[in-house]
């Protein structure tokens, strides 16, 4: 069932993409029982952990998962649940905040390039380079902080940045980085409900920010920016997954299945020892046997 839904979420060609065709509360007509979802997620996390070990052992490929969402979209919770069973030594999570002085002194992809996962690793971007075609697009005054030459601040800047992102992701894919991009798509009403939850629950008060309410006033502008970003960068080697995010457990299932599917396509297996390595193994065994 999740496989069918996953296919509907996957965007490999952005031509004609429209965000309104993707229901934030949609489960493709399927009922998702609570107990079934819990069991499926546990099984998925276990399978992901096993594939991660093979990824580390083979040490050729790496996996980069990019998470984007509007405020309260569920990025932190999804990362927490999906990655709960994997070996932390094989995962690196990077949360990109507003760029600081050193980052603003470089091109917008500079800080992201430095955090690309090493071979054998899973890299998680909690927000990413896509922020640079979202927030400044909604708030153009932010571009003034980036010290760009005036002649480059044209109407085509967003098109150019999307082209640069596509080229960057193609480059990574040609170096053995498998890229999955997740847009956790929630409705405006669901965001409202989650904001209330953060305000009403003392244990979640720390998550609330007045800035989130201010940004909510730009909802439609952000949705247009996300639509343009997905349409402009969706491709086979770096697909987007527009994940129905109103149901958290369902969103977690979609993400873990997408990661499993991508890793299984790599046909991962432990490296075969060379003749020299086999001799070292045999010598080690003889040394241990002699102790007895």
Each domain of the chain, given as residue ranges in start order, spans: 2-291
Reported as a pLDDT band with limits 50, 70 and 90, residue 94 is very high
Q: Which fold has domain 2-291?
A: Rossmann fold (3.40.50)
Q: How far apart are CA 145 and CA 226, in angstroms?
A: 22
Q: How far apart are CA 44 and CA 127, in angstroms?
A: 24
Q: How far apart are CA 175 and CA 93, in angstroms?
A: 20
Torsion of CA 70, 71, 77, 83, to 10 degrees: 50
Q: Residue 282: count other Cβ atoms within 10 Å of its Cβ.
A: 10
Residue 292 has pLDDT above 80, yes or no: no
- Provide mean pLDDT across the span 237-253: 95
In this prediction, residue 144 carries a pLDDT of: 86
272 or 14: which carries more pLDDT confidence?
14
What are the pLDDT digits (tens) for 106-118?
Answer: 999 999 999 999 9
In this prediction, residue 2 carries a pLDDT of: 66
What are the pLDDT digits (tens) for 138-196?
Answer: 999 999 889 999 999 999 999 999 999 999 999 999 999 999 999 999 999 999 999 99
The pTM (predicted TM-score) of the whole model is 0.93
- Provide mean pLDDT across the span 233-243: 97
Q: How far apart are CA 161 and CA 29, in angstroms?
A: 37
Q: Do residues 109 and 130 lie in contact, with contact meaning Cβ atoms separated by under 8 Å?
A: no
**H-helix or E-strand spanning residue 69:** strand 62-69
C-alpha distances in angstroms, 99 versus 110, 117, 125, 132, 142? 11, 20, 15, 10, 11
3-state SS of the chain: helix, strand, coil percent to 5?
55, 10, 30
In this prediction, residue 1 carries a pLDDT of: 59
Q: Using alpha carbons, select from 183, 185, 184 the residue that is nearest to residue 238.
A: 183
């Amino acid at each position: 069932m999740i496989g069918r839904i996953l296919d509907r979420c996957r965007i490999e060609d952005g031509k004609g993409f429209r965000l309104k065709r993707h229901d934030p509360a949609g489960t493709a007509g399927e009922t998702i029982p609570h107990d079934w979802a819990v069991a499926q997620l546990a099984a998925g996390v276990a399978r992901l952990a096993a594939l991660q070990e093979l990824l580390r052992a083979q040490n050729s490929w790496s996996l980069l998962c990019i998470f984007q969402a509007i405020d309260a979209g569920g990025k932190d919770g999804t990362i927490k649940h999906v990655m709960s069973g994997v070996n932390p030594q094989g995962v690196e999570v990077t949360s990109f905040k507003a760029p600081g002085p050193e980052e603003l002194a470089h091109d917008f992809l500079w800080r992201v390039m430095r955090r690309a996962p090493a071979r054998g690793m899973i890299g998680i971007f909690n927000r990413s380079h896509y922020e640079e075609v979202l927030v400044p697009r909604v708030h153009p005054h932010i571009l003034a902080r980036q010290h760009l030459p005036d002649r480059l601040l044209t109407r085509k800047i967003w098109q150019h940045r999307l082209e640069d992102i596509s080229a960057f992701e193609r480059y990574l894919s040609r170096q053995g980085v498998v890229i999955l991009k997740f847009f956790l798509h929630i409705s405006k009403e669901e965001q409202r409900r989650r904001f209330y939850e953060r305000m009403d629950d003392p244990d979640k008060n720390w998550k609330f920010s007045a800035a989130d309410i201010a940004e909510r006033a730009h909802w439609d502008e952000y949705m247009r920016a996300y639509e343009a970003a997905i349409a402009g960068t969706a491709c086979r080697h770096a697909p987007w997954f527009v994940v129905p995010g109103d149901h958290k457990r369902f969103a977690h299932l979609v993400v873990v299945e997408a990661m499993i599917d991508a890793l299984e396509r790599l046909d991962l297996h432990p490296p075969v020892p060379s003749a020299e390595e086999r001799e070292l193994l045999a010598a080690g065994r003889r040394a241990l046997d002699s102790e007895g």
